[in-house]
Amino acid sequence: MRNCLRVLPAAVVVTTTVALPLASGHQSKDQPDITVTVKSRGELQPGEVALLTVHPKHDVSDLHVHVFDRDIAGFEVAERTWRVLVGIDLETPPKNYSAEVIALDHSVQTRVTVPLRVLPRQFRTRKLTVDEAFVNPPPEALERIAHETAELNDLWAHSAAAKLWTGPFVRPVPDPANSAFGTRSILNGQPRSPHSGADFNSASGTPIKSPNDGRVVLAGDRYYTGNTVMIDHGLGLFSLFAHLSEIQVKLGDTVAAGEVIGKVGATGRVTGPHLHWSVRMNGARVDPLSLLAVLGPESGRK
């Protein structure tokens, strides 16, 4: 059994369907197959989002997927229809992987395997000469940076156990993205971490809308990202917005899709106004535009 995705332009959403037999240890020989559909923006590559739709033809009480050394919870969208969002981190090595779908029917557990072939992806590299202050922070800022990094990593790791988002994800601003996800930057001859979000060429003061329902888990100033808002959408899915000129929500607020959370600005370590949007999916750094492709308005998906 192999993934039969074809090479297609990035804007095209492709779907692969695999019919899988039940695990041999299942107690009933009369149970039919499980069907798994894998939907993605294009080929499965680092930084992409894969939406698995699982149709067990028997009732299950819980379903999750183990892949990339992570356990990812599924969510039921209709009778005997479950979905699982799988993020492929931008530094995932290209090779063949297996996603183990684990369905629980009260005391009976069914395990089936779906092949996921991650293909190589070439991210662009840019070389820039900037003010040295943007490359190496002063010694007095290092303690603050370490504290903020630890706090952010802790937030990424503690998402709501329930799915908080509803309906399709929407763009936070109407403007096009002008800085590619995954870009490797060399600043003043020094390589930096890959760009883990998408930058939008929006004017200062442009309203920023929440891409979906969720809870605000961070709202404040950070050394690198300036005025920052982070939203937990539940089930390990987060949105982070950076460099805002104004924050219009507070910690603990519940927000809805399309609700204004702040305004575009140029705070933090930036050279001009724009919106930076990062998405984390169970720890994986993924392209926000890939999320919009599989769960945006045009996808027709919940």
Confidence band of 271 (pLDDT split at 50, 70, 90): confident
Both tokens assigned to 216? 């605000």
Give the model's pLDDT for residue 154. Answer: 97
Give residue 4's pLDDT.
Answer: 30
Q: Are strands 275-281 and 284-286 parallel, antiparallel or unpaired?
A: antiparallel
| Overall size of the chain counted in residues | 302
Q: What is the mean pLDDT of the chain?
A: 86
Condensed to tens digits (0 to 9), the pLDDT of residues 203-238 reads 999 999 999 999 999 999 999 999 999 999 999 999
At 192 the pLDDT is 74
The full set of domains in the chain, from first to last, is: 14-118 (2.60.40.1930), 125-296 (2.70.70.10)
pLDDT in the model for residue 70:
96
Mean pLDDT computed over 133-148 = 87
20-26 mean pLDDT: 37
Q: Can you give the pLDDT at residue 18?
A: 52
Highest mean pLDDT among 50-54, 59-63, 108-112: 50-54
pLDDT tens track for 172-210: 999 988 768 888 777 777 777 788 899 999 999 999 999
**Alpha carbon distances (Å) from 69 to 66, 158, 189, 252, 294:** 7, 17, 34, 30, 23
**pTM of the predicted model as reported, rounded to 2 decimal places:** 0.87
What does the pLDDT average to over 296-300? 73
